[in-house]
Structure 1
Amino acid sequence: MYYFDYFIFIPFFLLCIIGILMVYSASSVNLSYAGMSTTSYLKKQIIYVILGIIIVNIFARSYTLKRIMESKIIVPLLWCFVILGLGYAVIFGESINGAKGWISIKGVFSIQPAEVAKLFFILYIARIFQNRVTSINNTKWQFKKKDYVYILSILMFIFFTPDFGGLAINLAIIIVMLVTVKAPKITTVVKSVIGLGALAYFIFTGLKYIDNPFKGTFFEYVYRRFEGVVDPFGHVLTSGKQLVNSFYAISNGGIFGSGIGNGIQKRGYLPEPHTDFILSVLAEEMGAVGILIVLGLLLLLISRILYVGYNSRTLPEMLACYGIGTFLTVESLFNIGAVVGFLPITGVTFPFVSYGGSSMVVLAATLGIAMSISNDVKYEKNHENQQDNNGTMKLIRK
C-alpha cells in the first residue's frame, strides 16, 4: 500500500496557495502601470503550481530515486541539459539585473538552468556514493576524474553567468552531502569556502571607503551587490534602493500588516516585488504574523524531510533527503538575508512563494523524491513490524 506523506505535501500546498495570493498582489499594480493584464503573472503562477503538484505526485508514486540510481543514462542526460543550458545562457542568454542565467523561450517564459543544477547535484552525489561506498563510516572514498568534470564544469558555468547566489546554494548542497559521508579532506574544503567567503565580505566591506576599483570589470556586478548591503542608505538611488524599500515595507507591516493588496512599496518602489522581494511585500501586507506562518510551514517541511532522511535505510536515500533539506534551507536563508540586509542581494527567490516556473518545477521534483523515500521508509518499518508480530505469534503458539 502506498504511503502519501501529508507532512510534506500539505506545507508545500499551503505555501503555494500563499504564493499565488502574494504574486498577484505584488505584481498586479506594476502590470497595470505598464498597460498589461493585471492577472498575467497570476495565471502563469497558477499553471506553475498545478504543474508542480502533478510533478510531486508523479515523482512520489514512481519510486523515482530507485529508478534514477539504477539508470545509467538519466544523470548524464541531466548533466548535458544543464551544461548546454548554462552555456547557451552565458553566450546568448537574456541579461536580467546583471546576470545572464536565463533562456527566454519566445518571450513567453524563461528557463533558468542553474535551478536544474541543484537537482542534478543531489541526484549525482547520491548515485556515486551508492556505487562506491558500502558504509556511512567508510572514510576511504574519493572523487574520480569524471566527478571533477561533472561538478566543476557546472560550477564554472554558473560562476560566469554570473549567478553567485545559485553558486553558493549548489556548493552548500555538495558540501553538506559530502560531510554526511565523511568524505576525505572535506573539512579542508569547508574551511576554505568559509574562509574565502569571510575574506571576500571583509574586503568588499572595506572598499566602501574608497572609489570602486572594479569599475568596468567582471567583478563590478559583485561589488555593487556588497555596496548595497553594506551602506544601503548611502546609495539609496542606486545599489541600495531595493534594500531601503524593503526596510520600509517591513516597517510598514508591523505585527498584522496593512492587508493583502494594500501595500505601498510594491507600487514602483521595489524593483522585483513578485520574485526576489516577495517576502517584503508579504511582511507589509500580512505583517509579522504572516511571516511567522510562512516560516513555520517551511520549517515543518524541512524538518520532515530531514526526519525522513534520518530514518532512511539506505545511504543514497539519506543523502538525497539531506541534500533537499539543504537546498530549501540555504535558498530560504539567502532570500531572507537579502530582504533584511544581512546578505547581498543575489536574485535568489523564496521557495514556493516567489513567482517562477523553473524554481517551482525543480522544487516539486525534489519534494516528490523526498515523498517517494518517505514511502520506502514507511514500507520498511511496517514490514519489520509485521515480521516482529509474526515472530511473537509463533512464540505464543509454542
Structure 2
Amino acid sequence: MRRKLQHLDYKILLPYLLLVFFGIIMVYSASSDILLVNGFKPATYGIRQAIYAVVAFFGFATFAFFLRLDLFKRTKFVAWFLGISMFLLFYLIVLKVFKGSDAAVNGAVGWIDLKVIRIQPLEIAKLALVIYLAYYLDRHDGSFRQGNIVNNLIRPAVLSGVMMLLVIVEPDLGGTAILATIVIIMFSLSGVPAKNALLCLIGIGIGVFFLVFLIVKWNPDFLQSSYQYQRLMSFLHPFELEQKGGAQLVNSYYAIHNGGLFGVGLGNSMQKRGYLPEPYTDFILAIAAEEIGVIGALLVLGLLFYLMWSIMEVGLHASTQFNALVCFGVTTIIFTETLFNVGAVLGLLPITGVTLPFISYGGSSLIVLSASIGLVLNIAANERIKKEEELADEYQS
C-alpha cells in the first residue's frame, strides 16, 4: 500500500475528487428548493450525496490500495463478480414479473430497494463486464486471426448479449447501449481487425436507426402508453408534447438560455423550482449551466474529458493487454454516460435516464465509478513500480 501511495497518479486522482466535490454542491443546489416546498429539509439530498461520496471513497481506496491487481485476473474472482452482477440483473426481471409497476421507477424496474440504499445492478454490471472482457481477451491475446475470430469471440459475445437482454427487458435502452459500446470498443482494441469491429458498429447503428424510424412511422397504439415510447416522441417533438413528457427537454433549453455565458449564480436557478422534473439526476447539467453559465458547464465537462484522457494515457502505456483493456473499458463507461447525458440535455439524443458521471445524484453510480477509478489507479501504480524495478535492474547490471 505504501508503494502504491508513493506512485499515485494525481492526474487521475485530482479530477476525480474535484468532480465528486462539485457533484455534492450541485445535488444540494438542484434539490434544496423542491425539498423545502415539499416539507423536507433542504439539505437532505446533499447530505445523502455526501454520504454516498464517503462510501464511494472507501470503495475507491479498496480497489486502489488494498486489493492486489492479480486478484482481478483470477478466474474465480472474475466468475464470482460476473455471476453476482448477472444474478442481480435477473432478480430485477423477477421483480418486474411479480411486482410490475409497484417496483418501477420512471417506467423501468432498474433498482433493488434495500431500504437503506437502492442498488442499481446495471452499474455493477458495467464494471463486471469490463473486467470479464479484459480477462478473457487478455487470455486470448494474439489468437484473433482471420478464420478463427468468430470461434474465439462466441463465448464473450453470447454472455454480453445475455447481459444486454436482461437490461433491455427492464427496460433500459440507455444502459443497453452503454454495454454494447463497451463490448464493441474492447473487442476492437483487443486485436480484432478494425474492419470487423467497424462493420459490427455500422450494422448496429443502421439497425437502431431503422427500428426507431419504423416505430415513429408506424406509431402503434399499444406503445403509446409506454413511458419509453413517450420519451422518444418527446425527444422528436418536445414543444408540441410539453405536457406529455417534453417538459424536461423544454425546461432544459430554458435553463441553459437563462444561464447564458456566466450563469445567474450558484443556488439561483429558476428551472429547479418545480419546472424541470428531478433536476438533481439526469438533468443536473442543465441546472449547472443555468447557475454557473455555459462556460462553467464547459469547464466541468473539460474536467471529465481530462480525467478520461488521463485514464487512456495509462492504458496506452500499459505493459499488459489486461491493464490496457481495463483502462479503455473504464474510459468507455465514463465517455458513453457523458455523451448520452449531454446529448439528452441538449436535445441531440433521446432521454434515456443516463446520469452525468460523478455529478448526478445517486449512490450506485458514484460507488461503482469510484471503484473503477481506484482500479485504474491500482494499474497506474503497478505500472510505475514495474518500470522503476526494471530501471533499477538495468542500472545494477
Note whether the superposition's TM-score is higher than 0.5: yes
Separation in 1 of the partners of 2:256 and 2:197?
Answer: 39
Pair 1:87-2:90 in alignment: yes
Separation in 2 of the partners of 1:198 and 1:132?
Answer: 33
Q: Which residue of 2 aligns with 1:235?
A: 241
Deviations 1:89-133 (A, max 9, x none): 233252111111111122x42111111110011000011122222
CA contact (8 A) 1:100 1:161 kept: yes
Could you tell me which of 277, 287, 302 is aligned with 1:281? Answer: 287
CA contact (8 A) 2:239 2:246 kept: yes
CA contact (8 A) 2:55 2:367 kept: yes
Aligned residue runs from structure 1 range 308-323, under 5 A:
308-323=314-329
Pair 1:339-2:359 in alignment: no
Pair 1:37-2:48 in alignment: no
Could you tell me which of 143, 156, 176 is aligned with 1:147? Answer: 156
Q: Which residue of 2 aligns with 1:175?
A: 184
Pair 1:14-2:18 in alignment: yes
Separation in 2 of the partners of 1:234 and 1:314?
Answer: 53
Pick closer, same or farther for the CA change 1:249–1:115 going to 2, 3 Å: same
Pick closer, same or farther for the CA change 1:384–1:138 going to 2, 3 Å: farther
Could you tell me which of 107, 111, 123 is aligned with 1:102? Answer: 111
Separation in 2 of the partners of 1:92 and 1:368?
Answer: 32
Q: Which residue of 1 aligns with 2:277?
A: 271
Pair 1:200-2:211 in alignment: yes
Could you tell me which of 136, 143, 166 is aligned with 2:175? Answer: 166
Deviations 1:172-214 (A, max 9, x none): 011100000233643432221111122234445x53xx7x31x
Scaled by the length of structure 2, what TM-score is found? 0.91
Give the secondary structure class of the aligned counterpart of 2:46.
helix
Pair 1:114-2:122 in alignment: yes
Give the secondary structure class of the aligned counterpart of 1:313.
coil
Could you tell me which of 74, 77, 81 is aligned with 2:80? Answer: 77
Pick closer, same or farther for the CA change 1:61–1:87 going to 2, 3 Å: same
Deviations 1:115-163 (A, max 9, x none): 1110011000011122222x38756444466535532221111010001
CA contact (8 A) 2:252 2:276 kept: yes
Letter in 2 for 1:51: V
Could you tell me which of 134, 137, 154 is aligned with 1:129? Answer: 137
Separation in 2 of the partners of 1:162 and 1:366?
Answer: 25
CA contact (8 A) 1:65 1:317 kept: no
Aligned residue runs from structure 1 range 210-225, under 5 A:
212-213=219-220, 215-217=221-223, 220-225=226-231
Could you tell me which of 51, 55, 72 is aligned with 1:51? Answer: 55
CA contact (8 A) 2:255 2:289 kept: yes
Q: Which residue of 1 aligns with 2:100?
A: none
Q: Which residue of 2 aligns with 1:251?
A: 257
Letter in 2 for 1:89: L
Separation in 1 of the partners of 2:117 and 2:57?
Answer: 19
Aligned positions, number? 383
Letter in 2 for 1:79: L
Q: Which residue of 1 aligns with 2:197?
A: 186
Letter in 1 for 2:90: G
Separation in 2 of the partners of 1:234 and 1:57?
Answer: 48
Q: Which residue of 2 aligns with 1:378?
A: 384
Q: Which residue of 2 aligns with 1:260?
A: 266
Give the secondary structure class of the aligned counterpart of 1:183.
coil
Pick closer, same or farther for the CA change 1:218–1:243 going to 2, 3 Å: closer
CA contact (8 A) 1:18 1:353 kept: yes
CA contact (8 A) 1:138 1:181 kept: no
In angstroms, what is the RMSD of aligned CA positions?
A: 2.0
Separation in 1 of the partners of 2:23 and 2:262?
Answer: 18
CA contact (8 A) 1:136 1:181 kept: no
Tell me how far 1:14 sits from its aligned partner. Answer: 0.3
Letter in 2 for 1:67: L
Deviations 1:259-279 (A, max 9, x none): 111100011111120111000
CA contact (8 A) 2:12 2:310 kept: yes
CA contact (8 A) 2:224 2:230 kept: no
- Which runs of 5 or more structure 1 residues have no equivalent in the other structure? 392-398
Q: Which residue of 2 aligns with 1:394?
A: none
Give the secondary structure class of the aligned counterpart of 1:100.
coil
- Percent of residue pairs bearing the same amino acid type: 38
Separation in 1 of the partners of 2:310 and 2:144?
Answer: 24
